[in-house]
Structure 1
Amino acid sequence: MQNLQTMNIKTVSFALLAAALSSCSTPVEKGIEGKIKRDAITVTTKVPGRVAKLWVSEGDRVKQGDTLAVLDIPEVDAKIAQAQGAVRAASAQYEMAERGATANQLKQLQAKHDALKEQYEFARKSFSRVEAMFADSLISPQSYDEAMAKFQGARAQYDAVVAELAEAKSGVRIENRLMALGQQERATGALREAEVASDERYILAPADMTIETISLHVGELATPGYSIFNGYLPHTTWFRFTLPESEIGRVQPDAQIRVFVPYLDETVEAKITAIKQLARYADVSTAYPDYQLEEAVYEVKVRPVQVAETDKLLNNATVILNY
């Protein structure tokens, strides 16, 4: 009788143990792990220079237009000086072209005109006498040719000074004025370009942002396009989850859900805003992916309903989506 009771007790114990093991082996549905994300922003340089001053530190929140750093660019200062000299020279050249000949130049041309006119009149009268004497055969053909040559030379000089004086009085040719104007505009453009490059020594915040990392220190060289500051835009918090195609049907766009933040032990009301396929397996952010490699993987983008209240959340911290 005692042996029978002992066997019954053992049978019940084994049954209870089997039930316990069976209960433990039942899969427990777990939430989907994801990450906290924010829209990032990068501040780069346009001209090369050395960092002369840093006005912010990592973790600072800045407003759009705030000065983040100042670069030392001595080459730009030299270009500005050169451009200023070119502008002054071109402006003087254009002003001279606009005004034409000065009063003293006109006086000199008038005196030259009067002198050549007298020489021309004298040569004309002398040639008239020689011409009459040649008609009466009183002089040789050689003397007649010499008198004619002097008369024609005097007339050519007089015609030239008449044209020169007329041009001086009428002003500079339009082509010369346009050429001088073009040189002035070119020099002004070069000066403006140098001034714009000089303004680039001040690295300004392109938008309201939180500084996450600073890549350079004072004295280091920043090349064009180099990323000096990296940060995040405010009020842009969102949650990123990944799901295989076998489970993607369990979430729907625009669905209202809750996201649990383990490190704060808080729940955030959120909404599914986008679902898109990922191109590479490496883009998966779930800690324990449980699906076949041939399955397509999708990114689920979730935004909190009250975005401003999630600015306190740490970037890339783990969150859980329960569905």
Structure 2
Amino acid sequence: MRLRCAILDDYQNIALNMADWTKISDRVDVKSFPTHFASEAEAAAELGDYEIIILMRERTPFRASLLSQLPKLKLLITTGMRNASIDIKYAEGMGITVCGTASSSAPPTELTWALILGLTKNLIAENQSFQSGGPWQSTVCSDLSGKTLGLLGLGKIGTTMAQIGRAFGMNVLAWSQNLTPERAEAAGAQFAATKEQLLSQSDIVSIHLILSERTQHLIGETELKSMKKTAYLINTSRASIVDQDMLVKALHNHWIAGAGVDVFDVEPLPDSHPLRSTPNLLATPHLGYVSQNNYQTYYQHALENILAFLEGSPVRKLSV
């Protein structure tokens, strides 16, 4: 019996070019879905006959309510080795194997610096002025050298951020709930004893934390007001670490100089969402992991996962 495989949220319609799917063409029919499902009901209706589904990160959540409507599903693959939008325990109870893929931390790190440089160098405003025949040099950009980069989180990405910050001649502060002075020093950063110390002393605050109960709305009204009015907030991690309503309010009321954001509570972001018209915001549509190398790794590993599953020896399995 031939199996059916759905590749979801293939926005750029390139997944079928990122791996050699002919390796399974004798046993599996593969279909790409470039358009995001508007609702869980639509997803259930479209996917009910599929045994294999490949997810792109958290673009389409697979909670128990959706999984329960997919009785044929046997293999669920997510890009990356972590996906908080999958109810893995429920999937296991249904006999569904859940697997992941490798991913690189380089793309989100690079995008973070693109946002920092875009904001501090006024690149969008100056480019728009240049293209429209506006004033030649209409702004004065901010310097990075000598300024303080505050890192909320000092894992793999945070450590690389610290290295790059020092290369720009910046002072680097770091804080997280579990960070120690020794760990901060080893990563080339100064240890901030409290979150408040980091926020009040930093010229740029960049978030590199995992979303959890402890980090949900870690940055709210009090924290935003404690930052320098000349400071910038960068979030390429998870949207809910920052209270989105308070971020909109902070930017409208100039509590901070600006923000660079690549993650949102709802994706794709509705056209009417307040962030679409918020001033002093440089926003990108969750591009932090969208790169040629990452996509090739995602889909080639997804193909390997399918082949291993067909042979009865699943690889890169995820569990609770």
- Whose Rg is larger? 1
Say which structure is richer in helix.
Answer: 1
Give yes or no for TM over 0.5: no
